[in-house]
Amino acid sequence: MIDSQASHGLTQWHGTTIIGVTRDGKTVIAGDGQVSMGNTVMKPNARKVRRIGEGEKVIAGFAGATADAFTLFERLERKLEQYRGQLMRAAVELAKDWRTDKYLRNLEALMIVADGETMLVLTGNGDVLEPEGGIAAIGSGGNYALAAARALSDYEDDPEKIARRAMAVAAELCVFTNDRVTVETI
């Protein structure tokens, strides 16, 4: 869903916008549905945001290669089981593995994950970041969505309204982002 290494001789995959917004104990993660290969939309309704873990108490969104993202979802679910649903601990352990494991180190994806208390951005560099101001965005349209959400946050308190409007702005500006949005709330 995002750039595949050109050096691998593969066609480049672009796309995805994921945004997370937290306000007053409510967190929303939203993502578009477009999967592109070059200049072609391969699928307009992919589901890049989902609930994971026991009791589905964690929501996660990914930007990156689809197979890589599924691998990371599965690994995060195992870490959540191992650490009894403690998202921060599970995320840190996943990030350690992601950075140091020979296989995982090659995965190309970013994730936004959240439970009822915490929202985090996870990267393959070993980063586990808590976003400034309760807003995070990743993917090709991430900067557009982030800017829109930050501007909207001064005037709107509902995180779902902020996320949906920010996604609409990103879809208007980023050719690799569409308006078929999946939203999960916790």
User: In this predicted structure, what is the pLDDT of residue 68?
Assistant: 82
pLDDT above 50 for 50: yes
Sequence-ordered list of residues with C-beta below 8 angstroms from that of 116, at least 6 positions apart, any chain: 25, 27, 57, 186
58-64 and 17-23 beta bridge pairing: unpaired
List b or e across 160-181, with b for residues whose CB sees 16 or more CB atoms inside 10 angstroms.
bebbbbbbbbbbeebebbbebb
Looking at the DSSP bridge assignments, the partners of residue 185 are 28
pLDDT above 50 for 64: yes
At residue 50, what are phi and psi to the nearest 5 degrees? -155, 165
Q: To the nearest whole number, what is the mean pLDDT of the chain?
A: 87
**Per-residue pLDDT tens digits for 69-94:** 888 889 999 999 999 999 999 999 99
DSSP 14: E
The answer to pTM > 0.85 is: yes
Percent of the chain scored above 90 by pLDDT? 60
Average pLDDT of 41-70? 88
- Concatenated DSSP letters of 90-147: HHHHHHHHHHH-TTGGG--EEEEEE-SS-EEEE-TTS-EEPPGGGEEEEETTHHHHHH
pLDDT above 60 for 178: yes
User: In this predicted structure, what is the pLDDT of residue 9?
Assistant: 36
34/20: higher pLDDT: 20
User: In this predicted structure, what is the pLDDT of residue 100?
Assistant: 83
11, 16, 17, 123: the active-site residue: 16
Q: Domain segments of the chain: what residues?
A: 6-178
Percent of the chain scored above 70 by pLDDT? 92
Residue 40 a catalytic site member: no
User: In this predicted structure, what is the pLDDT of residue 3?
Assistant: 41
Query: Which homologous superfamily does the CATH classification assign to the domain defined by 6-178?
Result: Aminohydrolase, N-terminal nucleophile (Ntn) domain (3.60.20.10)
Report the candidate in 54, 62, 83 with the shortest Cα–Cα distance to residue 13. Answer: 62
Amino acid at 117: E
Distance CA(46)–CA(92), nearest Å, equals: 27
Q: How many CA atoms lie within 13 A of 21 on its CB side?
A: 29
Please tell me which of 61-65, 124-128, 161-165 the model is most confident about, judged by mean pLDDT.
161-165
Sequence-ordered list of residues with C-beta below 8 angstroms from that of 84, at least 6 positions apart, any chain: none
Average pLDDT of 118-123? 93
pLDDT above 50 for 7: no
Average pLDDT of 105-125? 88
pLDDT above 70 for 2: no
